Structure 1
């Protein structure tokens, strides 16, 4: 199975419902393991929220966030393209407290994504764009 979907939304956490609704179409036919589907949704929303709250923090609401999801026979790949400043994902992961030691309300997104995803990268596309790449096996 190869299925690919695209969406473009503004930099707005209020678009979370739209993003989740759009994402539902990748789950046809439904994944047999509901836990994996929940993990996929978690990856998508944590990734989207991180782009809105961090990468696009000082950018206008109209700044687009592009999302692409590809469902293959054994994997789901999520790509979220952003604008803004680059950061070193691996360094951030090393400096964040472990999930079991982090009782803060915010600041756990990267660790959550890292614990769920088979692959997690934040790659430069050009001087102003980056791609958050998430891959999960099902």
Structure 2
């Protein structure tokens, strides 16, 4: 996005351990960290843009398990 720079690591350090479930915000970033395998937050100074990259590693069942479940259906 084109918003102001944001120090994600400092923001996370400043957050309380327990999240107020009734607060109007503040849960999204913690949720991303709980679910994602990799999160990268960078600032492109040449374009004045913030870049958030979230990735989740996915490993499908081994081939033997897929063949077994296919033959049982």
- TM-score tier, shorter chain, comes to 0.5 to 0.7
**How big is each residue's C-alpha offset from its partner over 1:88-132, in whole Å with a ceiling of 9 and x where there is no partner?**
11111111223xx21224211111111111111210122511101
d(CA) in 2 for partners of 1:97 and 1:134?
A: 23
- Matched residues, number: 55
Q: Which runs of 5+ in 1 are unaligned?
A: 1-81
Match of 2:44 among 125, 132, 135: 125
d(CA) in 1 for partners of 2:38 and 2:12?
A: 13
Query: Normalization by structure 1: what TM-score?
Result: 0.36
Stretches of 4+ aligned residues off by more than 3 angstroms: none
Q: Which runs of 5+ in 2 are unaligned?
A: 59-73
Q: Per residue, is there more strand in 1 or in 2?
A: 1
CA RMSD of aligned residues (A): 1.5
Structure of greater Rg? 2
Query: Normalization by structure 2: what TM-score?
Result: 0.64
